């Protein structure tokens, strides 16, 4: 997969925006240095998945959300995000199933 510079810098810009929204100040980011780490991670996991994981990263309780920590722990973050989504879906399915069983029980008794 060929990654162009615009998608790399767009990712870095997304990080800066999320950081500013959370902390009210701009992070110190060397865009030219981080470009290579971003390119590598996007090549391995895809643009959309990396962006979803970045958004999840800022939901997590991490002090100052350093970009380097994100790169070093990406797979763990991504797995945690996917596990959480799977858990939410499973809970919703079980909740709907329980409501259906409850409704059938109530209708059968009445």
Query: pLDDT, tens digit, for every residue of 5-14?
Result: 889 999 999 9
Provide the sign of the torsion angle of the four alpha carbons 48, 50, 54, 59, taken in this order: positive
Find the mean pLDDT for residues 71-85.
96
**pLDDT-based confidence at residue 109 (cuts at 50, 70, 90):** low
pTM for the model stands at 0.83
CB contact burial 27-51 (16+ within 10 A = b; e otherwise): eeeeeeebbebbbebbeebebebbb
- Return the C-alpha torsion angle 85, 23, 20, 78, nearest 10: -20
**pLDDT given for residue 2 in this prediction:** 65
Report the half-sphere exposure of 53 (CA within 13 A, side-chain side): 24
What is the percent of the chain with per-residue pLDDT over 90, rounded to a whole number? 85
- CA proximity to 42, closest of 2, 84, 101, 69: 2
pLDDT digits (tens, 9 = 90+) for 5-38: 889 999 999 999 999 999 999 999 999 999 999 9
């Amino acid at each position: 997969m060929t990654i162009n510079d615009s998608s790399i810098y767009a990712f870095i810009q997304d990080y800066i925006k999320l950081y500013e929204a959370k902390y009210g100040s701009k992070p110190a980011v060397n865009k030219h240095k981080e470009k290579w780490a971003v390119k590598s991670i996007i090549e391995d996991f895809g643009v959309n998945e990396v962006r979803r994981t970045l958004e999840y990263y800022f939901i997590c309780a991490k002090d100052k959300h350093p970009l380097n920590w994100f790169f070093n722990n990406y797979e763990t973050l991504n797995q945690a995000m996917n596990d959480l989504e799977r858990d939410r879906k499973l809970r919703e399915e079980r909740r709907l199933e329980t409501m259906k069983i409850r409704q059938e029980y109530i209708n059968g008794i009445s």
